[in-house]
Amino acid sequence: MTLERPLDTALSRLAGTGVLLVALDFDGNVSPHVDDPAGARPLPEAARAIEQLASLARTSVALVSGRAIDSLVEVSGVGDDVLLSGSHGGEYRMEVGAPPLSLSDEELEVVARLGDILREVAAQHPGTEVESKPAGHALHLRNADAETAIDAQHVVRRRVLNELSGITARPGKDVEEFSVLAATKGDAIARLRDHVGATGVFYSGDDLTDEDAFRVLLDGDVGVKVGAGDTLAPFRVPSPDAIAAVLTRLVELRGAVVGGE
């Protein structure tokens, strides 16, 4: 796949930065969306490019996902050399053996009640499914018919708003997610940038929550939106296959800069 010239030019400039961070959303980005979230896997070309980028000097790769860290590890198959941020910036794996996310007793009680509400809504709306995370829960709507999905959205939003306080809502593509943490993918990018000392960042994603990441990119960084929809990202590609091609091109460009180190 040949990249459009403006994107290729931006990647060429970014490849010359001192310390590069390549941060990637997972679902709908390096992996196509699938009906069963547990069955998601990175496209082979994307997985190969991630491995190659992570092996280069002065280059770090991170997956930044709404998934819980444990789920992200399972479906991504990445090694310990890839940094991870899960739960929309609420969880991190910066190094092997890092302690898990810790919540207060009050927060844990809210998470438990939140789970009860979402499971009750799911039981009343065929095709919807609850995904549990350390700091919250998500109601997946992808496998419900359109009318059922819309009603489930309205019901779950109303119930959570009326019955719980201190909850952050994160609507996404075919999902309604709620958490006791207010962190965003933008927070994740800022923390990862600081952690590796990045002088340039590449970020790509397809969902509404990825806009928080695009929002914190700096001059010289490169943001790529996957698929349709309004976005703050300056570049857009149509599909995860196209992102795999972008990453492969970035391997070539960055390798030419740091390959001998």
Over the stretch 88-125, which tens digit does the pLDDT of each residue have? 998 999 865 556 677 889 999 999 999 999 999 999 99
Provide the CB-side half-sphere exposure for 24 (13 A, CA): 30
86 and 188 fall within a common domain: yes
Q: What percent of the chain has pLDDT over 70?
A: 98
Condensed to tens digits (0 to 9), the pLDDT of residues 131-187 reads 998 889 999 999 999 999 999 999 999 999 999 988 999 888 889 999 998 889 999
- Domain with 253, as residue range(s), is 5-100+184-258
26 and 91 fall within a common domain: yes
96 and 119 fall within a common domain: no
Last residue of a domain, one of 179, 210, 235: 179
Total domains in the fold of the chain: 2
